Structure formats: C-alpha cells, structure tokens
Amino acid sequence: MQPSGEFDLIARHFRRPPRRAIVGIGDDCAVLQPSPGCRLAISTDMLVAGRHFFPDADPHWLGHKALAVNLSDLAACGARPLAFTLALALPQADDAWLAPFARGLFALADAHDCELIGGDTTRGPLNICITVMGEVPGPGQHGGALLRSGARPGDDLYVSGTLGDARLALDALQGRLSLPPEQLARARQRLDAPTPRVALGQALQGLASAAIDLSDGLLGDVQHLLDASGVGADVHADAALSLLAHGRQPGDAALPRPTLLACVLSGGDDYELAFTAPPSLRDAVQVAALRSATPVTRIGSIAARPGLQLLDAQGRVLTDRFPSFDHFA
C-alpha cells in the first residue's frame, strides 16, 4: 500500500482525461453537454458490503457490478449511457484493492462509452454509490424514454436473456442447496458479473410500451410495472421456467421444480429487462432482439383486470407465493 491522501488516491485510480465531458474530475462540478435535442435520464444505485456483496468479493467484479446495476437502469429506460459519478466510502486507502476495482469499473465503462466525471471519496465501511446519466432522443413528453407506466391490456410480456442463475449461485454459496463446482462457477458468473441490456433497451425504443429491469425478482418487479400502468398480467409458469439457464447443458444437476421456479420467479440480481409490446409488433421485437444480440422470450400478456396471475400448462391459476427481495420486509 502506498502512503496517500484522498486526492492522490483519486488521481491514481480514477482521474482520466475528459473525453465527452467539458469539465471532468477535478473541479467542483463536472460540466456535460447532452447531444442536441436529447433528454437526460439519471439513476442512482448503491452497493453496501455485507448487504449487496460479500465483504471479501473480488474487487474487479465489484467494480464491474457497481456500474452494471446502474447501466441496467439506463437500459430499462432505453437510454444511451453518457457519464457517471462514483461516491466511495473505503475502510482504508488500499491500492491492492483499488487498482483492480478501477480496472473492472473502467472495463465496463469503456465498453459502453460511459465516462467517469466525478464523485466523492470518504473513509467508512465499504460502500459504493454510482449515479449514471444517459440520454434519450426528444421530443415528446418523455422523449424516447421507456417507462414502467405504458403497458396496455392485450400487450405481450417479454423477458430478455435468462433468469435464475444469480439466485442459484447465492443459494449455493450460502449453503441452501448444493451444486457441482463447475455449475456453481457458471451460475456465479451471473451473480458477480451481470450484463446490463443496454443495446436491447435502445433497440426497443418506439416498440416497447413499458419496461423495467429485473433486480429484485421477476414477479415483484413485473408487479411494479403493472402497478405503474394500472393493469394486470397472466404469466405462464412454463414459459418463465424456460428462461432458466441452469439445466440447458447436459449433465446439469436435476433440481426440484419448486426450487427452479423460485429462482426464476423471485430470484433477484439477474439484471435482465422485462417489457411489454403490442402483439402487432412481435416481428419488430424479434428484429430488435437480433440487432442487439439479446434473446427475448414471451412469457405472458397484459390484462385489464388488476393482479398478476401465474398459470400452469393447463391454464389453471397457481396460488404459490414468490416474494421478491425487499430490504425492509
């Protein structure tokens, strides 16, 4: 560990020449010029040691994940990433921790051309708070931003990618189920290094009627979208189960169906997108999925009556509960 103060630490690990920013790190404020005609989309997410990650988590992947969960919010809005700020509380100025953290953070930031423009650094229990800024084309009331509130009865309900691995990994790491090491490693990838669906979100602009990213669990997060839209939904349990990545490879451990359903329906931390679109746009949605190299699966439809109904293959309503993650529940 090199002896250093707060400002050396920032200079060594986080300060880079400004690119798009007019003023970047080093002044009291950063100054940004959004593209002409664009609206800003802004979101904040905080990761707390012991709450959102194990205190001994690999700093490289922690840097990745701290930004990924924020980019996922931009993805849900269909926004193009621009810039972010980083507020860090650190127990100590440990270069051996900060260097890989910054590498993981910047690797993902550079992949999305998203610039670090400022932040704050203090001593305290490890806590990482990022605010991300993106842009969506105007005009119109919200510009091109996808919102939670636009779902209409008759719309299809889709989910991107795969679900359940992050929860499977967490359950295995905390001893609630056992997975062979190679399968745990595969599932853990999703827990440690989520992929924000930024390209899909932008490709869905003008197609999706509503969207949300899945951080706390499919059913709970979709319920937020339904509440904001004032509608309900029918979700097909088997279609949802087809979202599981686990079980797709020969030799994957056979796990009980209730465990798999719980991973898919209430497991959090997957950072996929759930979105709705009218059936007339099915082909266009598939083109958007292809263009963004992100598979999407139709798992249900929007209903006028309130509430989310989970249906089995025979169309019977399942009454099991699949609660989402809630920090204060």
Binding-site ranges for Mg ion (CB under 5 A): 120
Minimum separation from the CB atom of position 12 to Mg ion (A) = 17
State the Rg of the chain over Cα.
20
CA-to-CA separations, 31 to 20, 22, 26, 74, 121, in angstroms, rounded: 10, 5, 11, 20, 19
119 binds, among Mg ion, ligand ADP, none (CB under 5 to 8 A by kind): ligand ADP
Residue with smaller CB distance to ligand ADP, 17 or 250: 17
CB 106 within 8 A of CB 98: no
Give me the residues that bind ligand ADP (CB under 6 A), please.
10, 14, 25-28, 86, 88, 116, 118-121
Q: Smallest distance from the beta carbon of 194 to Mg ion, in angstroms?
A: 29
CB nearer to ligand ADP: pick between 15 and 298: 15
φ, ψ for residue 19, nearest 5 deg: -110, -80
**Shortest Å, Cβ 130 to ligand ADP:** 10
CB of 195 to ligand ADP, least distance (A): 24
Residue 78, binding choice from Mg ion, ligand ADP, none, Cβ under 5 to 8 Å by partner class: none
How many of the other CB atoms lie within 10 Å of CB of 185?
A: 11
Cβ distance to ligand ADP smaller for residue 75 or 105? 105
Pick one of ligand ADP, Mg ion, none as the site partner of residue 88 (Cβ within 5 to 8 A by kind). ligand ADP
Return d(Cα 237, Cα 222) in angstroms, integer.
14
What is the C-alpha separation between 4 and 289, in angstroms, rounded? 47
Q: Compare residues 88 and 179 and give the one whose CB is closer to ligand ADP.
A: 88
Q: State the nearest-atom distance from the C-beta of 193 to ligand ADP, in Å.
A: 21
What's the rounded Cα separation, in Å, for the pair 186 and 60?
A: 17
Question: Cis peptide before 139, with omega less than 30 degrees from 0?
Answer: yes
**Beta carbon of residue 102, minimum distance to ligand ADP (angstroms, whole number):** 9
Give Cβ neighbours of residue 311 (< 8 Å, ≥ 6 apart): 234, 235, 236, 237, 300, 317, 318
Question: 37 contacts which partner out of Mg ion, ligand ADP, none, CB within 5 to 8 A by kind?
Answer: none
Specify the residue, 23 or 38, whose C-beta has the smaller distance to ligand ADP. Answer: 23
